[in-house]
């Protein structure tokens, strides 16, 4: 589904081409993520905000499974997600095979998202620099 359909306030109007300037969290949560092969990778379930830096650090994306069984949750660095601004989709520059090998979050064992090694590993996998300086 296109996040542009959820623009009830007209907030996605912007003067730059090729993207949206600002997006509401309610719009992003539940949105599909499209991979580099054009196929759906998963859905955004939640946004993780670093309360020290006030940055949206990660989008938690679900992938796989059937009716919630066997589904995995991935912390995707927020700066790894792109939007097209025209069709209203979020894109991630990986394919399904890569996601199958991505670090994921086990439901009963959450990582320490402030751990520098974990931050470096996640950002390196998705090919983006950490939002925090000195990582």
pLDDT on residue 1 = 54
- What pLDDT score does 65 carry? 66
Residue 24: Cβ within 10 Å count: 14
pLDDT at 8: 62
| Spatial distance between the Cα atoms of 130 and 135, rounded to a whole number of angstroms | 6
> What DSSP character marks residue 69?
B
Look up the pTM and report it: 0.81
Consecutive 10-residue averages of pLDDT for the chain (135 residues): 59 59 78 90 92 91 72 92 74 90 87 91 94 63
pLDDT of residue 58: 95
* Domains, in order of start, for the chain: 3-126 (2.30.30.240)
pLDDT number for residue 88? 67
Contacts for 32 with CB less than 8 Å, ≥ 6 apart: 1, 40, 42, 43, 89, 90
């Amino acid at each position: 589904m296109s996040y542009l359909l959820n623009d009830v306030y007209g907030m996605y109007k912007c003067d730059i081409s090729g993207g949206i300037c600002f997006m509401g969290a309610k719009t992003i949560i539940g949105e599909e993520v499209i991979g580099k092969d054009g196929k759906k990778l998963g859905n955004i379930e939640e946004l993780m905000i670093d309360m020290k830096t006030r940055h949206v650090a990660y989008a938690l994306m679900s992938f796989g499974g059937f009716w919630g069984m066997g589904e995995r949750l991935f912390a995707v660095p927020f700066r790894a997600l792109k939007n097209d601004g025209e069709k209203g989709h979020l894109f991630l520059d990986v394919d399904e095979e890569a996601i199958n090998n991505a670090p994921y979050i086990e439901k009963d064992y959450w990582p320490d998202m402030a751990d520098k090694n974990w931050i470096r590993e996640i950002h390196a996998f998705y090919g983006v620099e950490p939002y925090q300086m000195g990582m």
